[in-house]
């Protein structure tokens, strides 16, 4: 079964809200990482993509691609490279985890960042206590940049460059 990415729409709001209730999804995002889906999904901004991952037309997860300097909250600060993007990624239901879907989702997300958006690097910021996610990100090619506190969350910033992705 292959993972297909499609643009998220307002009709995905209920599914996303349900996934937000899952303890593992919440753990991956930290305190301040939930979206107001009813507000955000209809918005069309050039600095972000909301993508639903599907297997056999069944939604299994979500990817958010974000241009780190153009996004409006300035979450990443102003010292990131001009062409850096960030990824938020999660698989919604437990039954879809540990099946290789996350690897496919991440590879497609990175491809979009580097090819479609011209990124030179991609950032990700798992909680320092989320050892499973950190291990996954390292396995797909991310390297540690270092610890950073975002709001109330102690995160490990990780990065992958275009060269690392292509090799």
pTM, two decimal places = 0.90
What whole-number distance in Å separates Cα of residue 49 and Cα of residue 126? 19
What whole-number distance in Å separates Cα of residue 48 and Cα of residue 98? 27
The partner residues of 143 in beta bridges, in order of sequence, read: 159
What whole-number distance in Å separates Cα of residue 64 and Cα of residue 51? 6
Collapsed DSSP state (helix, strand, coil) of residue 132? helix
How much is the pLDDT for 27?
44
pLDDT in tens, 13-50: 999 999 988 776 554 454 445 789 999 999 999 999 99
pLDDT in tens, 65-100: 999 999 998 899 888 888 999 999 999 988 898 899
Specify the CATH class of 3-166 in words: alpha beta
What is the length of the chain?
Answer: 167
How much is the pLDDT for 25?
59
How much is the pLDDT for 79?
80
How much is the pLDDT for 66?
97
């Amino acid at each position: 079964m292959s993972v297909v990415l499609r643009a998220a729409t307002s009709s995905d709001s209920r599914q996303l809200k349900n996934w937000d209730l899952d303890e593992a999804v919440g753990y991956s995002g930290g305190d301040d990482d939930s979206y107001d889906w009813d507000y955000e999904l209809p918005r069309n901004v050039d600095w972000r993509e909301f993508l639903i991952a599907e297997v056999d037309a069944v939604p299994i997860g979500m990817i958010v691609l974000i241009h780190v300097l153009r996004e409006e909250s300035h979450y990443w600060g102003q010292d990131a490279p001009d062409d850096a993007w960030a990824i938020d990624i999660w698989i919604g239901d437990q039954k879809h985890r540990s099946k290789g879907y996350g690897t496919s989702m991440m590879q497609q997300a990175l491809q979009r960042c580097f090819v479609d958006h011209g990124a030179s690097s991609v950032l990700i910021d798992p909680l320092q206590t989320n050892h499973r996610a950190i291990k996954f990100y390292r396995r797909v090619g991310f390297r540690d940049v270092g610890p950073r506190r975002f709001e109330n969350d102690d995160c490990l910033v990780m990065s992958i460059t275009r060269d690392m992705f292509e090799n």
